[in-house]
Structure 1
Amino acid sequence: MEITNTDFSRSLNEMTVSLRPFALKLTKDSEDANDLLQETMLKAFTNREKFAEGTNLKAWLYTIMKNTFITNYQRLVRKNTFIDTTDNLHYINSYNTATYNLAYSTFANEDIERAVASIDEAYRVPFIMHFRGFKYHEIADKLRIPIGTVKNRIHIARKELKDKLSIYANN
């Protein structure tokens, strides 16, 4: 004797109590568990002809629920996955990851060296010594000039360099 739709529906309804905890375990959310349970029951009822009478209905429903959950999860992951189909992928966010070569600094260094070389030797020598880490009194002793003169010459050298290298003032 074949099972009727009414009997099958009653059997499904009796199984909801034991399937709900499994749905909660999978989804970790009460509303999602209710949705999963409802979807499982709908699939079971629409596919009732695939159920072989005399087999374990509970195991069949658990399998449907587990497969439904996995399918929904995979669909969600695909939906939230961003796929970029642009042709020029290397341009995306390139302003954040720009790599600068040393050309700019090479030009700047050459300009600085030329500017320093063009300063009168009386100002250039104390300036270079100070730049290399000598203290004012050490420069004064080495060049045999007063410390005030050393400070004045370094100040003048800096001022000349600032004027000669004004192109780099805002960089």
Structure 2
Amino acid sequence: MEKSEFSSQLLQNETALKKLAFRLTSNSQDAADLHQETLFKALEYRNYYKNGTNIAPWLYVIMRNIFINMFRRKKRSLKLFQTVSDKMENRIDLSYGIENNVGAILLQIEKLPSILKTPLVLCVEGYKYTEIAELLDKPLGTIKSRIFFARKVLKNTIGRD
């Protein structure tokens, strides 16, 4: 199938995709993100679309899978945030000045080069190494080593302060 023909079929289904995205998320911003990600994935994987079949169900499956993955990431991220928050509250009660230590860590993360900072931040947000590798279009080993080195740099710089 030609790219222009595929694109026109995508545009014909765009309104239905937007409605489905809003029904899934119940939030206009999340729906817009889900819709955009679905179109991106559809274009990225258009070679897997079987010519002559109905494109709508194919697009719905893509959207559903993206929605499920987004939900899982948010759930993991919320759990991580809650765990970190709980630990921080416990530490704040036990030791004076922990807020400054957290601030120092965040400052050091911001100082990291982007090739180290991006995978580390995604890891902290709850993404799996394989998901990070896919998102950044890098080999899994590269992602693992970048996260390892980012942690090592943070440990050394924070340990010196």
TM-score (norm 2): 0.49
The structure with more helix, counted as a fraction of residues: 2
Higher relative contact order (CA 8 A, sep 6+): 2
